Structure 1
Amino acid sequence: MDLELEGRRTLVIGASYGIGLASARMMAAEGADLILSSRSADKLDAAASDIGAACGRTPRTATVDLTVPGDAERLLNEVGAQWEGLDCLVTAVGGSIRSGFEGLSDEDWLGNYTFNVLSTVRAVRAALPLLRKGRTPAVVLLGAAAAKMPYAHQIVSNVHKAGLLGLSKTLAGEFASDGIRVNLVGPGRTLTPLWINRADKLAAERGVTRDEVIDEFSKDIPLGRFAGPEEVAVMVTWLASPRAAYVTGQAINVDGGIARGLL
């Protein structure tokens, strides 16, 4: 199927590794014109080189930290210097703190809120003028399956990812009159560098191997395994494409069935 992404002006934030990189790589293979952004210049340059080698065209890059006030505006000024409009925005930013409720300080809550929610708010707000000039513009936010089924010992992420779900639903309604679609993809357990690092830490604490930790966390996933980043990227890429022209305000999990709720 032709996803009609050829030449679509696309900004992927959080594109230096994991699901963000996998999404950028897949969209580039479909012909999208990309600008990649993340906090790490070295990782970003490596990601751009990787995509260029695979697709024959190296994306432009912009190093920013959306937890810093003003960086979102700076990023979108750079994008606006390249393009008169923006056809797609993908935000793949965020993380979690593994802790019970009593182990968390105000600083933990506020810092993770800035990382998980406010960074995305800043990106969308700064991108809105360019999105309004885009061709069938789309916004795809990366959230988490935890928004629909909270995980134990990840209360901060559970709360903030649910906030992203509410954000996506609200923005979809507000932006519909501008022709801008907004959707959210909720990954489940995915073999990204973040999860691999977490598995290595737990393995060292327990005196077991990484594979044993991954196997343990796979047991409550109906499909019995973690996702690969590319499996999540398929959904991101489709939602970003004109093929999903009648889909907005949706939060679609790619989680192997781990979230068992009806909604």
Structure 2
Amino acid sequence: MNLEYENRRVLVVGGSYGIGLASAKLAAAEGATVAIASRSAGNLETAAAEIEAETGQKPLTLVADVTKDGASQALADQIKQHWGELDVLISAVGGSIRSSFADLTDEQWMDNYNFNVLSTVRTIRACLPLLERGTAPAIVLLGAAASKMPYAHQIVSNVHKAGLLGLNKTLAAELAPDGIRVNLVAPGRTLTPLWTNRADKLAAEEHRSREDILADFSKDIPLGRFGKAVEVARMVVWLASPCASYVTGQAVNVDGGIARGLL
């Protein structure tokens, strides 16, 4: 299928690794002009080299820590300087804390809120004027299947990722008159650095192998395995494309069936 990405300008925030990087690669392979943003210049350099090697396109790289006040606006200003407008914004920023409720501090709650929700809010707000000038503009947020089926000991991200569902649905209605579509992709357990690092930590604590830890976490996934970043990215890139022109306000699970709720 031709996803009609030719001449489209795509910004992936959190595009230096994991699902963000996989999404940037797919968009570039489809013919988009791509920019990736991350707080790590080193990670950006590595990611850009991967994208260029696989797609022939050298992406624009922008250092930005969108958890910091003012960084999202500075990022949008750079996009305006380079492109003048924006067709697609993909926000792949966020993470979780594995902890019991009683052990969490106010600071941890606020830090994770800033990471999972406010960083995305700021980035969308800063990029809206650019998207309004774009062609068939679309926003895709990266959430989590845990927003629909909360995981034990991840209460902070469960709460904040659920907040992204509300943001997604509300923005989709508010921005529809401007022709801007907004959707969310909710990954399940996916083999990204977030999960491999967690598995390595648990493996060290329990004197087991990474493979054993991942196998245990795969037991309650109906498809019996972790997802690959590219499997999630395919949904991200499709939702952001003109091929999904009648889809907005949706939160689509790509989770191997782990979230079993009806809605």
Q: Answer whether TM exceeds 0.5 for this pair.
A: yes
Amino acid at match of 1:146: A
Identical columns (%): 66
The answer on 1:161 being equivalent to 2:147 is no
The answer on 1:150 being equivalent to 2:150 is yes
- Between the aligned partners of 2:117 and 2:11, the Cα distance in structure 1 is 18
Amino acid at match of 2:204: A
Stretches of structure 1 that go unaligned for 5 or more consecutive residues are none
Stretches of structure 2 that go unaligned for 5 or more consecutive residues are none
- Between the aligned partners of 1:76 and 1:130, the Cα distance in structure 2 is 8
- Between the aligned partners of 1:233 and 1:90, the Cα distance in structure 2 is 10
Deviation at 1:129, TM superposition (A): 0.2
Cα offsets for 1:38-93 (capped at 9, x unmatched): 11000001101111111112001100101110000000000000112110000000
Cα offsets for 1:136-190 (capped at 9, x unmatched): 0000000000010000000000000000011000000000000000000000000
Name 1:58's counterpart in structure 2. 58
Name 1:186's counterpart in structure 2. 186
RMSD: 0.5
Name 1:250's counterpart in structure 2. 250
Instruction: Provide the secondary structure at the position in 1 that maps to 2:146.
Output: helix
> How many pairs align?
263
- Aligned pairs for 1:81-92 (under 5 A) are 81-92=81-92
- Between the aligned partners of 2:34 and 2:124, the Cα distance in structure 1 is 17
Please report the TM-score for the alignment, with normalisation by the length of structure 1.
0.99
- Aligned pairs for 1:111-150 (under 5 A) are 111-150=111-150
- Between the aligned partners of 1:188 and 1:57, the Cα distance in structure 2 is 30
- Aligned pairs for 1:211-226 (under 5 A) are 211-226=211-226
The answer on 1:44 being equivalent to 2:44 is yes
- Between the aligned partners of 1:168 and 1:57, the Cα distance in structure 2 is 31
Name 2:15's counterpart in structure 1. 15
- Between the aligned partners of 1:203 and 1:53, the Cα distance in structure 2 is 33
Name 1:110's counterpart in structure 2. 110
The answer on 1:34 being equivalent to 2:34 is yes
- Between the aligned partners of 1:84 and 1:245, the Cα distance in structure 2 is 23
Please report the TM-score for the alignment, with normalisation by the length of structure 2.
0.99
